Amino acid sequence: MLRQEENELLTRVGPGTPMGELIRRYWVPALLSEEIGEPDSAPVRVKILGERLVAFRDTEGRVGLLDEFCPHRRTSLVYGRNEESGLRCIYHGWKFDVDGNIVETPCEPPESTFRYRLSIRAYPIREMGGVIWSYLGPPEKMPPFRVFEWMTLPDNNCHAVKIWEEANYLQALEGGVDSSHLSWLHRIFKGAGEMSLSAFDGAPRLEIEETPYGYRYAAIRKTANPAERFVRITPFILPFHTIVPFAKDQPRNFHAWVPIDDENVWVYFMHYGRNHEIDPVAHKEPYELDAEYRRRRTLRNQHLQDREMMRTTNFSGIPHIPTQDHAVQEAMGPIVDRSLEHLGSSDTSVIHLRQLLLRVVGDLMEGKDPPGLNEPIPWELIDSESIVVPADMPWQQLGALPQNATVAG
């Protein structure tokens, strides 16, 4: 469990909060490329880390991420005209470029120099893999952009989706480093491959290995063969990324849990395969999302849980793994009171995550830089594993498939 003050420290992410300032030191997903697909298309509202922003793609295809509110009279630029290489406020015509410069103040006299003394807050942007990333931290501390493997693949081999989840980012992120719940929440009654392997042993042994970017952990399960073990290795990459383990020849999910505010989070799924083309419709359709990336199944309708499905098909009575995750995380309430928890050995990775975040945010408060910002880390090589191996094989050596290993599934 956590003390109340520790829980507050880890869950509050607005401007000026310690955890908010920690996350702002990293490049984070701001929105999907598809949201502002065409030059001069409508600007869109973006809310991350408690900040209200506006994103637009200008006439040249450049992306801007600005403060939502015009510095003149503070109306929203989401209503603005995206035209001629800038975003123009509809109230008095002030116009801004992607770098936050005020390029026109047409309601002022021609000789006015007013605009040269003002600007609007703008954040740096990188666009890769169908995702628009931004850096919201101190400009002088901006780290190099991290290029993960999925960003380097052909467009047909990767597809990104985001989902609005009504819960604090941390309880969503904790689900991503909790491999033991795979045996229960995600259990299906006629499962094969990894699902049957996870169901065989519902109490995996969890082991941790520290890394320069965060940590990775192994969930080690028994199999029907005493000479073998089923091992799932998941990396946690600061500040809020994981790579979901699948068999070596199967596509992966790279996750990001981006706080919208203290009580809501954007859950990003970057589905990719080195040798697999990804069908974007098949990837997105099961989430049942509306135009605002919100699910049809919500806490208000109890995620349309089906008791007959629970009896005959799967353990939870809710279809699709991400929806099952969101159901249990949202059911905790917007910010769970971790002082009331009773944790066990199955929570080893969750405990380590909290300890790591407390340590890193504490170091930041003392003026130390967070890890994984400027180190020469081969980001494109970080991977997960899901594999059956000999029982005496140390999981730490599973960077690549051993010759005598059997691929799960």
CATH of the domain at 80: 2.102.10.10
Contact yes or no for 13/262 (Cβ under 8 A)? yes
pLDDT at 289 over 50: yes
Are 277 and 376 members of one domain? yes
Cα distance between residue 173 and residue 265, in whole Å: 10
Of 90, 121, 141, the residue that ends a domain is 141
Are 262 and 278 members of one domain? yes
Give the single-character DSSP code of 43. Answer: P
**Tally of residues, the chain:** 409
Are 134 and 171 members of one domain? no
Q: Is the Cα torsion angle 108, 112, 117, 119 positive or negative in sign?
A: positive
pLDDT bucket at 391, cuts 50 / 70 / 90: very high
Q: What's the mean pLDDT in 283-296?
A: 94
DSSP secondary structure, 165-217, as one string:
ESS-HHHHHHHHT-GGGGGTTT-BTT--THHHHHHH-SS-EEEEEEETTEEEE
Residue type, position 340, single letter: L
CATH of the domain at 379: 3.90.380.10
pLDDT bucket at 290, cuts 50 / 70 / 90: very high
Contact yes or no for 327/303 (Cβ under 8 A)? yes
Cα distance between residue 57 and residue 261, in whole Å: 24
Please list, in sequence order, all residues whose beta carbon lies within 8 angstroms of the beta carbon of residue 405, skipping any fewer than 6 positions away: 387, 388, 389, 390, 393, 398
Q: How many domains does the chain have?
A: 2
Assigned domain for 364 exists = yes
Assigned domain for 275 exists = yes
Tokens linked to 343 = 């944790």
Are 64 and 175 members of one domain? no
Are 84 and 178 members of one domain? no
Alpha-carbon distance values, 137 to 2, 66, 209, 214, 258 (Å) = 27, 14, 29, 20, 15
State the residue range of the domain holding 113: 29-141
Residue 134: φ, ψ to 5°? -140, 155
Residue 224: φ, ψ to 5°? -65, -20
Q: In Å, how far from its chain's centre is CA 2?
A: 23
Are 172 and 278 members of one domain? yes
Give the single-character DSSP code of 375. Answer: S
Assigned domain for 2 exists = no
Assigned domain for 64 exists = yes
Are 56 and 183 members of one domain? no
Cα distance between residue 316 and residue 123, in whole Å: 42
- pTM exceeding 0.85: yes
- pLDDT score, position 249: 80
Tokens linked to 82 = 């995206």
Assigned domain for 16 exists = no
Are 117 and 185 members of one domain? no
245-270 pLDDT tens trace? 988 788 999 999 999 999 999 999 99
Are 162 and 136 members of one domain? no
Are 123 and 172 members of one domain? no
The position carrying tokens 């199955």 is: 346
Assigned domain for 21 exists = no
Of 111, 141, 171, the residue that ends a domain is 141
- pLDDT score, position 192: 64
Cα distance between residue 285 and residue 288, in whole Å: 6
Tokens linked to 213 = 């970017």
Greater confidence (111 vs 328) lies with 328
Are 359 and 298 members of one domain? yes
What three-state secondary structure class fits 51? strand
pLDDT bucket at 390, cuts 50 / 70 / 90: very high
Of 141, 173, 194, the residue that ends a domain is 141
Assigned domain for 210 exists = yes
Are 346 and 235 members of one domain? yes
324-376 pLDDT tens trace? 999 999 999 999 999 999 999 999 999 999 999 999 999 999 999 999 998 89
Assigned domain for 85 exists = yes
